[in-house]
Amino acid sequence: MSPVDLLYTALAVALFGLGLGALALSARPLKKLLGANVMGTGVFSLLIVTARGPDGATDPVPHALVITGIVVTVAATGLGLALIRRTRSASKD
C-alpha cells in the first residue's frame, strides 16, 4: 500500500469506528441513524481505496458498488427518518 492509500484506509476505518460508536452508545434513534450513515461513508471510502489496483488502474466494480450503495443509503435513511417520526408521534399519545 502506498502512503496515500494508508492514509485513506486509516480515515475510512476511523469513520467506520466513529459511526459504530455512535450507533452502539447513543440511546437516541436519530443519532443511531446518523451513526449508521457515518459507518456507511467509511465503507464507501474504503471501497474507493481498494478500487485502485496494484498496477494503478481503477477497478470499476467497487465504484459501481459505491454508487449503488449511496442510493440505497439515501432510501434507507429516508425510511428510517419516517419510522423515527412515526414512533415519536406514537409515544406522544
**9: nearest Cα among 36, 46, 43:** 46
Residues that bind another protein (CB under 8 A): 1, 6, 9-10, 13-14, 16-17, 20-21, 24-25, 46, 50-51, 53-55, 57-64, 67-68, 70-72, 74-76, 78-79, 81-83, 85-86, 89
Smallest separation (angstroms) from another protein to the CB of 53: 5
CB 67 within 8 A of CB 48: no
Nearest CB to another protein, comparing residues 4 and 25: 25
Rounded Cα–Cα distance for residues 15 and 8 (Å): 11
